[in-house]
Amino acid sequence: MQLDHVTIRTRNLAGTRDFFIDVFGLEEKPRPKVIQRIPGHWLYAGDDPIVHLIGSRGLGPNASPEAWDHVGFRLTGYTPFRRSLDEKGIRYSTMDLPELNERRLFFHAPCGQLIEAVFRETTPLPGDEND
């Protein structure tokens, strides 16, 4: 397991983007089409999108306008991991990003923090139901 990325919610997308580009030398590149409806930016270190920014208005419960939104872990073994979540009764949602050759699972820790599991696997594997 390794840390894949961090997602930050902010009301100041441009300023936050500029800060990370300036301070860490990151480069902005296009985001996958499936998430382009959400205001934001992906900042890359080389080929890896390690800082994700999401626009926030700070409305609603648990929607602080300035917050770390979630953490992403890069893992291997999409099918066994997904099966394990099913066996444990952990609800999750899926997202396939063919432009990045990745599959993702989103689920919550017991205290509510959002976790994203990122796999570099692009095609449904035997045993992947509903894919």
Q: Would you put residue 112 in left (φ > 0), alpha (ψ -120 to 50) or beta?
A: left
Domains assigned to the chain:
2-119 (3.10.180.10)
Which tokens is 19 given? 């800060």
Q: The pTM is what?
A: 0.67
| C-alpha closest to that of 40 among 26, 57, 54, 58 | 54
More confident residue, 61 or 1: 1
- Mind listing the pLDDT tens digit for each residue in 8-26? 888 888 998 998 898 788 9
- For residues 26 and 49, the answer to whether their CB atoms sit within 8 Å is no
Instruction: Kindly state the greatest CA–CA separation across the chain.
Output: 45
